[in-house]
């Protein structure tokens, strides 16, 4: 992802999330050299199918954003993107991938379960809820992890 992608990225982002990221959030991630991806179709690379942002840490990486454009959902694109990110993590010796997901986001929860993430906890009131009639309305996050360490079973 580069700055020139942001117009399209923001269209997908804004129509996909309850509290979408703003341009500044993406600019910060680009400036911080996170792993910032746009997903494209190799045959017609001008349409952006989606985007994702991964923050590398010490032993773990944190998946901060994965969003697929409405027209391209349920085609296995997010699954493929997560598998590619996992491959990169393994090559760079990261031990696990962490993420948070809104408790109400059953689509994303199903996706993460389908690629082998497990729930390891919750964060109370982690997400804002965009309800103008309810001040400070919050929603819990489910914390999920995928361990990338190969278990060695000694006899
Ligand atoms: C969640 C999201 C990223 C999934 O992207 P996608 O490319 O459509 O997902 P995939 O096609 O790779 O789905 C892989 C698997 O995830 C699960 N899944 C994905 N979308 C699902 C849905 N709407 N309902 C139930 N399960 C779903 C299924 O197990 C699916 O496998 P299947 O299609 O063989 O049944 C997409 O719906 C999205 O961008 N949502 C809005 C943004 C968002 O919520 N991002 C995650 C924030 S934590």
Could you tell me if the CB of 107 is within 6 A of ligand 1? yes
CA distances from 121 to 101, 118, 124 (A): 11, 9, 10
pLDDT in tens, 100-150: 999 999 999 999 999 999 999 999 999 988 866 566 789 999 999 999 987
Distance 152 CA to ligand 1 centre (A): 32
Residue 133, pLDDT score: 58
pLDDT in tens, 66-102: 999 999 999 999 999 999 999 999 999 999 999 999 9
Instruction: Flag whether pLDDT at 151 surpasses 70.
Output: no
Residue nearest to atom 23 of ligand 1 (CA): 107
Residue 50, pLDDT score: 98
Distance 153 CA to ligand 1 centre (A): 34
> Atom of ligand 1 at shortest distance to CA of 81?
12
pLDDT in tens, 51-64: 999 999 999 999 99
Q: Report the C-alpha gap between 22 and 46 in whole angstroms.
A: 22
| Residue whose structure tokens are 């804002």 | 128
CA distances from 64 to 2, 54, 108, 152 (A): 17, 6, 13, 30
What structural domains and CATH numbers belong to the chain?
3-147 (3.40.630.30)
Residue 96, pLDDT score: 98
Residues 6+ apart with CB under 8 A from 85: 35, 52, 54, 61, 63, 97
Residue 75, pLDDT score: 97
Paired with 54 in beta bridges are 35, 63
Cα atoms found within 13 Å of the Cα of residue 54, Cβ hemisphere only: 19
SS3 102: strand
Residue 132, pLDDT score: 60
Which pLDDT band holds residue 40 (cuts at 50, 70, 90)? very high
Burial class (CB in 10 A: 0-12, 13-18, 19+), 153: exposed
Could you tell me if the CB of 76 is within 6 A of ligand 1? yes
Q: Report the C-alpha gap between 87 and 129 in whole angstroms.
A: 34
> Atom of ligand 1 at shortest distance to CA of 82?
12
Residue nearest to atom 20 of ligand 1 (CA): 107
């Amino acid at each position: 992802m580069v700055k020139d992608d942001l117009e399209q990225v923001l269209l997908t982002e804004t129509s996909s999330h309850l509290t979408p990221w703003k341009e500044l959030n993406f600019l910060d991630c680009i400036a911080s050299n996170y792993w910032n991806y746009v997903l494209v179709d190799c045959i017609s690379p001008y349409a952006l199918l989606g985007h994702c942002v991964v923050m590398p840490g010490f032993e773990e990486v944190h998946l901060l954003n994965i969003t697929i454009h409405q027209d391209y959902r349920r085609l296995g694109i997010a699954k493929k993107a997560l598998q590619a990110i996992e491959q990169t993590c393994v090559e760079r010796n990261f031990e696990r991938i962490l993420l948070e997901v809104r408790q109400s986001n059953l689509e994303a929860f199903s996706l993460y379960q389908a690629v082998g993430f497990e729930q390891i906890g919750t964060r109370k009131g982690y997400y804002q809820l965009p309800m103008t009639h309810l001040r400070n309305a919050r929603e819990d996050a489910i914390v999920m992890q995928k361990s990338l360490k190969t278990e060695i079973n000694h006899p």
